[in-house]
Amino acid sequence: MKSTTDRGLGWEHQKRRERLLKDHLDGSPCYWCGLPMFRDRTSNWDYDPASADRASGSLAADHSHARAHGGTHSDRLLHGYCNKSRGDGSRDHLRPAVTGLDPMDTRGTDDPLGIRLLAWP
């Protein structure tokens, strides 16, 4: 697994994440899924104790203006799974908090076509 530095994020991103975690109120809703977020990763819905990923259940520092579109600063926390699902932010209008889909039901069934409101094609 690549470090934050390997992914082009580095020390400043780590410091911003620490600051966001310090200011975080447990139980605040996630922008992507709408479910509560907790500092204790074992309390988050995306925590998987059987996972080899040591960061399973951890909150991720997200860029509301995605890095792919020139964003430079992380300004909010999301569940780790939600942050990965959000990607470049181009599908924000299809996030579970808006569509009402349960992110726990769709976990592990990522469709290469993305989220489809109609089963088509």
pLDDT digits (tens, 9 = 90+) for 97-115: 998 888 877 555 555 555 5
pLDDT given for residue 74 in this prediction: 86
Give the span between the Cα atoms of 60 and 7, in whole angstroms: 14
Segments making up each domain of the chain, as ranges? 10-106
Give the span between the Cα atoms of 106 and 110, in whole angstroms: 7
pLDDT given for residue 13 in this prediction: 78
pTM: 0.73
pLDDT given for residue 117 in this prediction: 62
Give the span between the Cα atoms of 121 and 103, in whole angstroms: 22
pLDDT digits (tens, 9 = 90+) for 72-94: 678 899 999 999 888 888 888 98
pLDDT given for residue 19 in this prediction: 93
Give the span between the Cα atoms of 108 and 17, in whole angstroms: 26
pLDDT given for residue 20 in this prediction: 92
For the record, the structure tokens of 14 come out as 């780590």
Q: If pLDDT is split at 50, 70 and 90, which confidence band does 119 have?
A: low
The pLDDT of 56-78, averaged and rounded, is: 81
pLDDT digits (tens, 9 = 90+) for 33-55: 999 999 999 999 999 999 898 88
- Residue by residue, what is the 3-state secondary structure of 26-59? CCEECCCCCCEECCCHHHCCCCCCCCCCCCCCCE
Tell me the H-state helices in 3-116.
10-23, 80-86, 96-99, 103-106
